[in-house]
Structure 1
């Protein structure tokens, strides 16, 4: 087996826990369905979502004082399609998009041969986008919905199976437990629809986030290419200096990949400086590393602007959604049952969870009321303003 083939196998090794969990969910769902057959039946996910859509569209429009686009549609992908969709959620430029789609398709199909071919075809792109495959796909079982290009996607793999699994785990008599579990199931669908409807009105924020993320990925590709072109002596010396795990000389790609993953600004700067890097306007690096890779400091400086735009836009998008969910669903019994039956928590515990984006939205809302949401979308906050909402309020008053 060649080095690329071994690396492809290693990718699935990193996803082994998640892949095993997916298989376990399927097995549990089959057993639950068999045991519940003829006794209990949950309404189909599609039926619930379409049934509640008109009333939740109205709730969101009233709370945000914004209109939801008329062309929003609902889709209900199963596991493989959902994994392929995650490739569309990776924002890459036109030169890289096809590669990302092929990579996620191969990961979804667990096709290690195809992954090895993609590595050979464009090693730099693989180094950048394989991290997304691991990061995104590892969250499949905890992500209920997605929004992209006027479409709300419900995670059918999870949402259509969890109610039966939860009820089955609670045991007999199923009939007496059905009411709370079914209510929690409806609450999960309500929460998912609500969150993604909110994302559907965030057009400008979505664009800022997408463009910034695309720029970050282009910069990371540039860094990957620089590291691939380093001579073996420099790679070995830098790896030793950075105290990276030793890799035999006959695995040149693995050595460079390790160095890239370590020096990737998402890892290196945030590990070295911490999350405060999101408000920095200047960075410095270890002179020895800078000598070995003279272009590195310039890359890090170039990376700061789009990563901060991406971080701020994404935080604002999620914060707005979290704030709206707290307010719209605070008295909803189905949502409260979702928290107890699916999440093992309650509303008061859920509500106090810290979130910088939600705290920002709350502070601005206390001052601007329903104007908050349009303002946040039209004039996205920057990272300093997210951290200190008074700066944003001051800007809005000028």
Structure 2
């Protein structure tokens, strides 16, 4: 087995839990469809969403003061297409775009040789973007929706399977529990559609986040190139100093890949310095490491700015969506049933969950009402303001 085949197998192995979960869902759905005693039917996600989407759009505008664009579409991709869409959500420079799309397409098909070809094409980009592939694809069965390029994508595979599975697991008599499960299913669709509608109005915030992520990925590509070009003696000394397990000499890329994953600032700085790094203006690193990789400190220092802008923008985007869901659906019977039936919680527990972005949005809303949403979107907070919302409120007052 070649080194690149080892990489491909390792990446497939890292998403194997998700693949197994998908297979379990598919088998359960097939088993249920063959059960003669299970005659319950649920409307498709498309049918259900078409009934309440216009009303949700109106409620978003009433609550935030911002209209959902009439150009925003709602689509229901299958599992393989959804994985490819996840690849398009990896923001990167134009020269990396085709590479990422090919990587996610190969993973969506679980095509080992296609993955090998992608790695061979550009090992630098593989080191950077394989981490996204693992993170995004390994969460498909827990991802209900996504927003990208004026389109809301709803996970038809999961959302069309769960109501039957939940009802079947509860056992007979199915008729007695049908309406309750149906209500929870509708609640899941309402929550997901509403979240993505809110994301669709976050235009400037979305663009600021996208630009920051592209810059972060450029820096990570620069680091990957430096690490892959290190000579063998430096790789050996650095690996020993960082106590990285020994890799056989016939796997030279793997030796350097281990170093990259350890020294990647998303891992190295955050794990060493902790989450407070999001408010730092300066970092320091082990002088021995810096001596062997002189460019490293400069890379870390340049990384701080865009990663902090990304953290602030993304946290605000997510917090705003959650805040809107909690307020717009707080009295919605279907949403309450979703929390109970799908999540095993209730509205009280759901609303007190801690979230930096939601806390910021809540503070801004308390001061400025619905006008605060447009301000947050057009004038994103800093990470310090995200941590201390009153600083943001004072700045924009």
Partner Cα separation in structure 2 for residue 236 and residue 325 of structure 1? 52
Partner Cα separation in structure 2 for residue 36 and residue 118 of structure 1? 46
Partner Cα separation in structure 2 for residue 191 and residue 383 of structure 1? 28
Alignment map for 1:124-203 (pairs within 5 Å): 124-203=124-203
Partner Cα separation in structure 2 for residue 102 and residue 177 of structure 1? 44
Partner Cα separation in structure 1 for residue 393 and residue 352 of structure 2? 23
CA drift at 1:214: 0.5
> Is 1:68 matched up with 2:68?
yes
**Structure 2 residue aligned with 1:243:** 243
**Structure 2 residue aligned with 1:273:** 273
Alignment map for 1:21-40 (pairs within 5 Å): 21-35=21-35, 39-40=39-40
SS at match of 2:39: coil
SS at match of 1:249: coil
Q: 1:389 to 1:36 in 2, by over 3 A?
A: farther
Partner Cα separation in structure 1 for residue 383 and residue 293 of structure 2? 29
CA drift at 1:367: 0.9
**Structure 2 residue aligned with 1:213:** 213
**Structure 1 residue aligned with 2:346:** 346
CA drift at 1:365: 1.0
CA drift at 1:391: 1.0
Partner Cα separation in structure 1 for residue 38 and residue 381 of structure 2? 54
Partner Cα separation in structure 1 for residue 231 and residue 362 of structure 2? 52
Partner Cα separation in structure 2 for residue 121 and residue 165 of structure 1? 42
Partner Cα separation in structure 2 for residue 36 and residue 363 of structure 1? 54
SS at match of 1:35: coil
CA drift at 1:2: 0.5
**8 A Cα contact 2:89 2:148, kept in partner:** yes
SS at match of 2:331: coil
**8 A Cα contact 2:152 2:196, kept in partner:** yes
Partner Cα separation in structure 1 for residue 71 and residue 341 of structure 2? 34
1:200-235, Cα deviation, whole Å (9 max, x unpaired): 100000000101001100100000000000001111
State the superposition RMSD in angstroms: 0.9
SS at match of 1:98: helix
TM-score (norm. length: structure 1): 0.98
Partner Cα separation in structure 2 for residue 34 and residue 154 of structure 1? 26
Structure 2 residue runs of 5 or longer lacking an equivalent are none
CA drift at 1:35: 2.1
Alignment map for 1:202-351 (pairs within 5 Å): 202-351=202-351
**8 A Cα contact 2:308 2:383, kept in partner:** yes
Structure 1 residue runs of 5 or longer lacking an equivalent are none
**8 A Cα contact 2:320 2:358, kept in partner:** yes
**Structure 1 residue aligned with 2:19:** 19
1:260-310, Cα deviation, whole Å (9 max, x unpaired): 000000000000000111111111110000000000000001111110011
CA drift at 1:354: 0.8
1:58-90, Cα deviation, whole Å (9 max, x unpaired): 000000011111100010011100000000000
**8 A Cα contact 2:92 2:218, kept in partner:** yes
**Structure 2 residue aligned with 1:87:** 87
Partner Cα separation in structure 2 for residue 32 and residue 178 of structure 1? 15
Partner Cα separation in structure 2 for residue 309 and residue 76 of structure 1? 31
Partner Cα separation in structure 1 for residue 371 and residue 107 of structure 2? 43
Partner Cα separation in structure 2 for residue 391 and residue 344 of structure 1? 36
**Structure 1 residue aligned with 2:104:** 104
Aligned length: 397
SS at match of 1:353: coil
Q: Which moved more, 1:54-63 or 1:242-251?
A: 242-251
**8 A Cα contact 1:44 1:160, kept in partner:** yes
Partner Cα separation in structure 2 for residue 370 and residue 36 of structure 1? 52
CA drift at 1:34: 2.3
**8 A Cα contact 2:38 2:174, kept in partner:** no
SS at match of 1:90: coil
TM-score (norm. length: structure 2): 0.99
Partner Cα separation in structure 2 for residue 385 and residue 163 of structure 1? 41
SS at match of 1:327: helix
1:169-228, Cα deviation, whole Å (9 max, x unpaired): 001110001011000000000000100000010000000010100110010000000000
**8 A Cα contact 2:204 2:378, kept in partner:** yes
**Structure 1 residue aligned with 2:365:** 365
SS at match of 2:336: helix
**8 A Cα contact 1:69 1:201, kept in partner:** yes
Partner Cα separation in structure 2 for residue 354 and residue 47 of structure 1? 34
**8 A Cα contact 1:36 1:168, kept in partner:** no
**8 A Cα contact 2:381 2:392, kept in partner:** yes
CA drift at 1:121: 1.0
